[in-house]
Amino acid sequence: MQQVKKVVLAYSGGVDTSVCIPYLKNEYGIAEVVTFVADLGQGDDLELVRQKALNSGATISVIGNLIDKFVEQYAFPAIRANALYGEKYPLSTALARPLIAENLVNLARELNADAVAHGCTGKGNDQVRFDLAIHALGPDLQIITPAREWKMSREEAILYGEKFGIPAPVSKKSPYSIDVNLLGRSIEAGLLEDPMQEPNEDVFDMTSSIYDAPNAPKDIEIVFQSGLPIAIDNEFLSPVDIIQKANSLAGEHGFGRIDMIEDRVVGIKSREIYEAPGLLLLIKAHKELESITLNPDVLDFKNLVEKKWGQLVYQGFWFGPLKQALDGFIDSTQSSVNGKVKIRLHKGNAIVIGRSSENNSLYREDLATYSKDDIFNHKQAEGFIYMWGMSNKIWAELNSKMNN
């Protein structure tokens, strides 16, 4: 391997990625460490984070405002795909990684760096997502992963940092490992490692508990155009604003918490707590609208595609050929997904109470009705059932002969 001269490091401002800066310079002999911090709506003061990187020895420290792209090109496709890994997790963390990776690669190109780096450990999914996305976009770039190689405990990492002027964290570190962006929060480790241990209320930040949620239910209406949410309660909103509004409505009513055992890419099961109120609400509403606007065979097949799409994104294949091909299928189904869905938010629930589509509804009241307006031809059912059940009837006749 060639000696790396300049590296672009994915930076969060936390202890681990801060320690990566002197570590890359001293242990890997890299002259220039450029840091990149992504604004994904996590709510940190990123100018402080940028300064911290410089104080820790970075030569250049860049903030990337990725929030609009994150929603439009990552969250919205996930809504169209009704994507839920393990039938529960809407991929709020997983979706961010390929976008960060893309920006690391672009910055490496711009600044003529020969490597990119991240601070992920060897046990999680995020390392897989970063590495696979970087391989796809910059196959010539080296990937350096200090935290996968150093054998330092957290305390040792803090001591190592202190030698290079990185202050030890002032507040006692949260006992949990938390990842946050506009779409949601992931909370792992600490007490939660016991899968039978209920999470303390203090792990949550975007959602109320069902005890604190308002007693009165709230009914809302979400409007979709071509499978994308465009308005809530008749207020037309930008993509970012619609996620924000959905987050606050669902969060206030305690909808959007997930507690699950998850199958990580690296083969271990882990206990995960998430909150992703807006994304879960929008997926639920979107799926409901599809039930009235898509043909049954398309719905049935799309279910399979959705499951695979979620797995691919979870497992790091955002930029892979199968994911792209499935995007093509999903996109082609969405032009008729227009209309609105009415939902009642109440004490941790989001209950669908109505759906309609002005121009794309496949629901026909004149066919569905049991009233005198019914136009369905009942007589035709006989011939249909004669053939529909033919093979089963033949089988049953043969069996009853053999048993007698």
Q: With respect to ligand ARG, which residue has the nearer C-beta, 224 or 274?
A: 274
DSSP per-residue string spanning 336-358 = G--EEEEEEEETTEEEEEEEE-T
- In this structure, how many other beta carbons lie within 10 angstroms of the beta carbon of residue 176? 18
Between 106 and 177, name the residue whose CB sits nearer to ligand ARG. 177
**Minimum CB separation from ligand ARG for residue 99, in Å?**
14
Where on the phi/psi map is residue 91: left (φ > 0), alpha (ψ -120 to 50), or beta?
Answer: left
Where in 180-239 is the site for ligand ARG (CB under 6 A)?
186, 188
Task: Report the distance separating Cα 21 and Cα 9, nearest Å.
Answer: 8
Please, which of residues 33-52 interact with ligand ARG by CB under 6 A? Answer: none
Kindly state whether residue 272 participates in binding ligand ARG, applying the rule CB under 6 A: yes
Tokens representing 145 are: 């992963």
The one catalytic residue among 39, 114, 177, 259: 177
Task: Taking the CA atoms of 77, 78, 82 and 86 in sequence, report the sign of the dihedral they define.
Answer: positive
Instruction: Give the x/- contact pattern for ligand ARG in 148-177, rule: CB under 6 A.
Output: -----------------------------x
The answer to whether residue 126 is catalytic is yes
Please list, in sequence order, all residues whose beta carbon lies within 8 angstroms of the beta carbon of residue 251, skipping any fewer than 6 positions away: 206, 207, 208, 275, 277, 278
Q: Which residues pair with 271 in a beta bridge?
A: 261
When asked if residue 179 is in the footprint of ligand ARG (CB under 6 A), the reply is: yes
- 3-class DSSP assignment, residue 317: coil
Query: Residue 267 CB, nearest distance to ligand ARG (Å)?
Result: 13
CB of 404 to ligand ARG, least distance (A): 59
Q: Which listed residue (12, 16, 18, 185) is catalytic?
A: 16
Whichever of 126 and 290 has its CB closer to ligand ARG, that residue is: 126
State yes or no: is 154 an active-site residue: no
Helical H runs in 111-206? Answer: 126-137, 146-149, 154-163
Using the rule CB under 6 A, is 315 a contact of ligand ARG? no
Q: Which residue is nearest to ligand ARG (CB)?
A: 125
**CA angle (28 as vertex; 23, 34 as ends), nearest 5:** 65
Please identify which of the residues 80, 97, 185, 257 carries the catalytic annotation.
Answer: 97
Q: Which whole-number Å values give the CA distances from 282 to 13, 78, 358, in the listed order?
A: 31, 10, 20
> Is 297 buried (19+), middle (13-18) or exposed (0-12) by CB count in 10 A?
exposed
CA separation for the pair 59, 54 (Å, rounded): 6
Catalytic-labelled residue, pool 50, 126, 129, 179: 126
DSSP 168: P
Size of interface with ligand ARG, in residues (CB under 6 A): 10
CB of 265 to ligand ARG, least distance (A): 8
| Shortest CB 258 distance to ligand ARG, Å | 11
Nearer to ligand ARG, 85 or 224 (CB): 85
Site for ligand ARG in 96-135 (CB under 6 A): 125-126
Task: Out of 93, 207, 293, 315, name the contact with ligand ARG by CB under 6 A.
Answer: 93
Active site residues: 16, 97, 126, 177
Sites of contact with ligand ARG (CB under 6 A): 93-94, 125-126, 177, 179, 186, 188, 262, 272
